[in-house]
Amino acid sequence: MKEIEQMCTRAAFLHEGKIIRVGTPRQLTRLIKDQIVRISFEPTAQMDRLVGTLPGTLEEHRKSSITLRVPHTTGALHDVLHPLLTKCIYIRDLHITKPSMEDVFIKLARK
């Protein structure tokens, strides 16, 4: 599916022999409203308390990292990071995964 994003100007998704959606890769990936944010940090008791207050859906919580599903909207990333930075949580790494064409197909095929 990555090749579609890199090489095609338009794409169509088929499900059970029927076209279910047509558009540019950018238009299609915008159908997914969430992005995945993975934050690695210095483990602290304070961070454990903050995790439950962060916006979005907690996908994974480990000793030194969290993975959240947050809306792909203006300000969403700020709303996640601001509480951490104001509490002086040391962020080691931040990784944001935008929706892919595969994510789009899975969403469309489940309807």
What would the pLDDT profile of 69-83 be if each residue is shown by its tens digit? 999 888 899 999 999
- State yes or no: pLDDT of 111 exceeds 80: no
Record the tokens describing residue 71, joined without a space. 């809306």
What would the pLDDT profile of 92-101 be if each residue is shown by its tens digit? 999 999 889 9
Identify the pLDDT of residue 87: 93
9, burial (CB in 10 Å: exposed 0-12, middle 13-18, buried 19+): exposed
Compute the distance between CA of residue 74 and CA of residue 3 in angstroms, rounded to an integer. Answer: 28
pTM: 0.76
Compute the Cα dihedral for 4, 73, 33, 27 and give only its sign.
negative
What would the pLDDT profile of 38-94 be if each residue is shown by its tens digit? 999 999 888 988 998 999 999 999 999 999 999 988 889 999 999 999 999 999 999
Residue of 39, 4, 41, 40 whose CA lies nearest to 25: 4
3-state secondary structure of 91: strand
